[in-house]
Amino acid sequence: MKIETLYEAYLKCNSISTDTRKINSRCLFFALKGDNFNGNSFALEALKKGARFVVIDEEKYDEHDDCILVDNVLEALQALATHHRKVLNIPVIALTGSNGKTTTKELINAVLSTTYITSATKGNLNNHIGVPLTLLEFTNDTQIGIVEMGANHQKEIEFLSNIALPDYGLITNFGKAHLEGFGGVEGVIKGKSELYNHLKSHNKTVFVNENDLKQIEQIGTYKNTILFGSNISMISAQPFINLEFNNTMVHTHLTGAYNYNNIAAAIAVGIHFKVDDDFISKAIENYIPANNRSQIIEKNSNQIILDAYNANPTSMIAALDNFGSLKEAHKVAILGDMFELGEAAAFEHQAITDYSQKFEIEHIYLVGENFYKSKSNAPNVSSFLSFEDLKLELTNSPLRNKYLLIKGSRGMALERVLDVL
């Protein structure tokens, strides 16, 4: 099938769906396949629930005039997204990185949406399915698109870049994330830099934090580069970040010095797109983190930094550095396992266990199979094999009047600690 024919069907629909539990009237349903399901088998169900058309790739399910048969549903979704992006021909900003992608994307969207009609990745729909779905939500009214890209192996960012065809791009940082898939830190740098390689090969624009020497090295002498950082000064981070740019003060709701780079990137993008300085400042000041990302929460008598959306060695060290620098009494850290570290898991968890001893933290709770294997003779460190073991401890010995850091990988779901508290 020609992509133009599929595009004509798309234009007759008002949304995209890949899940029959989330069918909107007159949507275009893509019958994707997974390890444990075949979307083709739900095609007729989708039509009965109100889908305008269904895209399938198995001929035996072509039982209705509104079925659109293609060679491969996933590839059709990706090709349709790229075609739509070309038709709209609007500026698209892409971002990736080991840490801070979603926060930076949200900040950029907040800044640009004060002046433009923007459309951005929802949540963290940043993979080979999420990126096409993001592009297909762009409308004729959209003036700037913002696309987050995630990856856990080589060539993934290159693939996503070829779908989104960004005009601008930035990498939040290179960190120790997904080491198992990337094959080490150098693999992370190579994999994330695929975004820069794409932009450079198409003579597009890159935003680079001039204080990040690894990124500067990757960019080399590429001329179409916007450097930022020196014109944005951090005033304090106790506990929230306050900074200044162009003689404009910004008082944020973001904790952690590590968020400075994310804010600086959003400011740089706003300045480039000629957003008024006051609009930039107010947009950032009004941004309140959510979804377990650096949230400040009060629970009973405890003040909590909830940073439990994800974790890797780089972000864990940054969180501990920030937590250790806070001028608060009775600090307690609850740290959960970091996933996808492969052969480096034992070393990296031991390193974090040792690193945590640098700070005046009243007590450190380590939870998960990897942290349980790490060794510490410190009297303020307790290790637990499972969350249930930690829950029992916190139930029997409740925390009161503490300042807590809760940090761990998504699979640990450490936000459950809130219910225990």
Q: What does the pLDDT look like over 96-106, one tens digit per residue? A: 999 999 999 99
**CATH 3.40.1190.10 domain range(s) in the chain:** 90-285
pLDDT of residue 173: 93
Taking the CA atoms of 55, 61, 66 and 68 in sequence, report the sign of the dihedral they define: positive
**Average pLDDT of span 201-215:** 96
pLDDT band at 150 (very low <50, low <70, confident <90, very high): very high
In words, the CATH class of domain 295-420 is alpha beta
Q: Which two tokens stand for residue 118?
A: 């923007």
pLDDT band at 36 (very low <50, low <70, confident <90, very high): confident
CA gap 366, 224 in Å, rounded: 46
Share of the chain above pLDDT 70, in %: 100
pLDDT of residue 237: 86
pLDDT band at 281 (very low <50, low <70, confident <90, very high): very high
Label the pairing between strands 53-56 and 363-367.
unpaired
pLDDT band at 109 (very low <50, low <70, confident <90, very high): very high
**Average pLDDT of span 122-142:** 95
pLDDT of residue 335: 98
pLDDT of residue 184: 87
Classify the phi-psi angles of 184: left when phi > 0, otherwise alpha if psi is within -120 to 50, otherwise beta.
left
CA gap 359, 355 in Å, rounded: 8
Across 254-284, b (16+ Cβ under 10 Å) vs e yields: bbbbbbbbbbbbbbbbbbebebeeebbbbbb
3-71 placed in CATH 3.40.1390.10: yes
Q: Nearest Cα to 151, choosing from 174, 184, 127? A: 127
CA gap 284, 266 in Å, rounded: 8
pTM here is 0.91
pLDDT of residue 306: 95
pLDDT at 147 over 90: yes
């349980």: which residue's tokens?
372
CA gap 9, 124 in Å, rounded: 27
Q: What angle do CA 412, 195, 225 make, to 5 degrees?
A: 125
Q: What does the pLDDT look like over 331-364, one tens digit per residue? A: 999 999 999 999 999 999 999 999 999 999 999 9
- Residues found in the chain: 421
User: For 123-148, what is the HEC assignment?
Assistant: CCCCCCCHHHHHHCCCCCCCCEEEEE
pLDDT at 10 over 90: yes
**Average pLDDT of span 2-9:** 95
CATH superfamily for domain 90-285: Mur-like, catalytic domain (3.40.1190.10)
pLDDT band at 247 (very low <50, low <70, confident <90, very high): very high
pLDDT band at 223 (very low <50, low <70, confident <90, very high): very high
Question: Does residue 164 contact residue 147 with C-beta atoms inside 8 Å?
Answer: yes
pLDDT of residue 167: 98
